[in-house]
Amino acid sequence: MADPAVIAAHDQAAFDAVERMVDHWDRPGWTAQTRAYYWMLTFPDDPVLVGLARRCQQRLAPLGLDPVPDDGLHITLARVGSAATLPLSHLDDVINAATPLLPEAFRLRAVPLAGSRGAVRLTVAPWAPVLALHVALSESMTSLGLTPGKPTALFRPHLSLAYNNRPRPAAPIIEAVTTLRDLPAVDLHVREVQLVELRREDRAYRWDVVKSVPLG
């Protein structure tokens, strides 16, 4: 899909059909000590995106969601592997395999506002350049005998703003989200992809950047 309005409408309709929310943090295998390597797009220095995120989070605050910190806004692309099983010395191989396959820099539009059973999030569009990046990263990992966490056919790009932290009816969250859908979209210029070591701190994702790799 290429048209941001069409993708946003599809995402919004899908969220509007959700009946119950689940606890995003209830994920077997994740503990405070877990560390894993991921390819992500991060946006630590984008004041317009941060402004939109804060505006949405403030309006959603009465619902008790866990807001994503300003420097934690990201699009998850692909899981590379557990830090416990993937030696740090192999990360150069991961980076070197990916670099020649990476597509050119591209622009995205982040569109308010939809969600999933575990989060409230921005739709991002068009999908084509993000899917091309996902394909490139997947192929590079496969060449090293690594298995991407999700095939590209099942990958749906999104940018979470707040995580749901308990089972509950979805209707109040959907109602609040609906009132935010007329906020203006934000344009994002994606010039690099980040290989990060991901962890959880309390109810937030945090990471250390291993390498920011420029796109072609």
Q: What is the pLDDT of residue 185?
A: 95
Q: What is the pLDDT of residue 145?
A: 92
Q: What is the pLDDT of residue 148?
A: 79
Q: What is the pLDDT of residue 30?
A: 85
Q: What is the pLDDT of residue 29?
A: 82
Q: What is the pLDDT of residue 9?
A: 93
Place of tokens 């606890």: 23
pLDDT digits (tens, 9 = 90+) for 128-165: 999 999 999 999 999 999 987 789 999 999 999 999 99
171-178 vs 47-60: helix axis angle to the nearest 10? 130
Q: What is the pLDDT of residue 110?
A: 96
Q: What is the pLDDT of residue 3?
A: 83
Which phi and psi (to 5°) does residue 70 adopt? Answer: -50, -45
Alpha carbons 64 and 9: distance in angstroms, whole number:
26
- Would you give per-residue pLDDT tens digits along the chain (216 residues)? 568 889 999 999 999 999 999 999 998 888 888 999 999 999 988 999 999 999 999 999 999 999 999 999 999 999 999 999 998 889 999 999 999 999 999 999 999 999 999 999 999 999 999 999 999 999 999 999 998 778 999 999 999 999 999 999 999 999 999 999 999 999 999 999 999 999 999 999 999 999 999 998
Q: Which two tokens stand for residue 179?
A: 């009132």
Q: What is the pLDDT of residue 140?
A: 97
Q: Could you give the count of Cα atoms lying within 13 Å of 3 in the half-sphere of its Cβ?
A: 4
Q: What is the CATH number of the domain that holds 130?
A: 3.90.1140.10
Alpha carbons 180 and 71: distance in angstroms, whole number:
22
Q: What is the pLDDT of residue 1?
A: 57
CA-closest candidate to residue 55, choices 109, 6, 120: 120
Range of the domain at 207: 4-214
Number of domains in the chain: 1
Place of tokens 């692309």: 77
Secondary structure (DSSP) of 106-140? EEEEEEEEEE-SSEEEEEEE-SHHHHHHHHHHHHH
Q: What is the pLDDT of residue 7?
A: 92
pTM recorded for the entire structure = 0.95
CA-closest candidate to residue 70, choices 89, 51, 86, 87: 51
Alpha carbons 50 and 32: distance in angstroms, whole number:
26
